[in-house]
Amino acid sequence: MVGKMSILVTGGAGYLGSHTVLTLLQAGHSVVVLDNFSNSSAVVLSRIAQLAGRAPTFVRGDVRDGACLRNLFLKYPIQAVMHFAGLKSVAESARQPLNYYLNNVSGTLQLCQAMAEFGIYRLVFSSSATVYGDSNEMPLSEDSPTGVPTNPYGRSKLMVEELLQDLADAEGRWGIAVLRYFNPVGAHKSGFIGDDPNGTPNNLLPYISQVAVGRLKALQLFGNDYPTPDGTGVRDYIHVLDLAAGHLCALEAVGRRSGLSTWNLGTGRGYSVLEVISAFERACGRKVDFVIVPRREGDVAQCWADPGKAFRELGWRAERGLDEMMADAWRWQLTNPDGYKESGV
């Protein structure tokens, strides 16, 4: 167990960052959140404060802004960084590649440069199972080959993984954790914080939740002709609080080992879209209407993790099952039908 630390969380107002900030505060760490609110709202910070009994320090700013980073490191005694800030929509990345490379790749370079200047060498980075591409061999272990990403978002994640490896190879003081997330879903038990995507959701769970709550009509189910047991896509859904717990374990690990380590954060179990719909219907007691439409371009048939390395090396494994993920996602949606918008804290 590492002692209490002072941690910078970039993108800490976002979906995954907010749950991790709460977990860090509850574990006794001091947290500084840096966020430009490009995909989040200030409301989340007061919700975190209510849940944790104390607030994270907040700096409104951009990871691409080197001066802002230096001021932050001058002002706060940061010992480690968790880097969530970035853009994450696959479809948008194809329309705005420059924006994606600037935020995800240049943003990370600026951050690492400022960290090195201030002698901060512990970093936990948000990568994605998307780097494995379209693989036939399941489960995916960290040794599975990375694929050829089909979009700028995926390429930006792979580029960052590679540039971080270069940093770790060149300077032995870096301790870097690359965490490859599978499909994070669910929300904190309180229903106070959760996933609040802008506009029409791209991802399955927020879409289903919004159908169930009556905000959207029917789910478009992208393809039932995949080579999977029921023909629909299979994914490894992981509860966001299990994911947050994985970050705490990775933080401890980068404190005791140098170099770059890669860990999958998944459950090791895949569920089809139809299984997810059924589980959600059980959780909310309502019918979720859907229509089958053609496959979405770029989707893989199946994707699930071998989470064994994280268990062996970090002592971490996911504990929450699909029903709990669905129940928590539904509680958040039901109590915040419009997300953080229009919310009086």
Which residues are near ligand NAD by CB under 6 A?
10-11, 13-17, 34-40, 62-64, 84-88, 103, 107, 126, 128, 181, 184
| Euclidean distance between CA atoms 108 and 141, whole angstroms | 25
Q: Which of 205, 226, 208, 225 is nearest to 216 (CA)?
A: 208
For ligand UD1, the closer of residues 195 and 252 by Cβ is: 195
Question: How does 117-146 read in b/e, with b if 16+ C-beta sit within 10 Å?
Answer: eeebbbbbbbbbbbbbbebeebbbebebeb
Q: How far is CA 239 from CA 25, 81, 98, in A?
A: 19, 22, 32
Q: Which residue lies nearest ligand NAD, judged by its C-beta?
A: 14
Rounded to a whole number of angstroms, the minimum distance from the CB of residue 286 to ligand NAD is 24
Q: Which residue lies nearest ligand UD1, judged by its C-beta?
A: 233
Active-site entry in 100, 121, 153, 181: 153
For ligand UD1, the closer of residues 116 and 216 by Cβ is: 216
Active site residue 153: yes
Question: Judged by CB under 6 A, which of 204, 260, 326, 327 binds ligand UD1?
Answer: 204
* 214 contact partners, CB below 8 Å, separation of at least 6: none
Please give the residues from 310 up to 339 whose contact with ligand UD1 meets the rule CB under 6 A: none
Question: Judged by CB under 6 A, which of 299, 311, 313, 317 binds ligand UD1?
Answer: 299
Question: Judged by CB under 6 A, which of 26, 57, 190, 220 binds ligand UD1?
Answer: 220
3-class state of residue 114 by DSSP: helix
- C-beta separation of 328 from 187 below 8 A: yes
Residue with tokens 């005791």: 256
Q: Which residues bind ligand UD1 (CB under 6 A)?
A: 88, 90, 128, 130, 153-154, 183, 202-204, 207, 219-222, 233, 235, 273, 296, 298-299
Among all residues, which ones are annotated catalytic?
A: 153
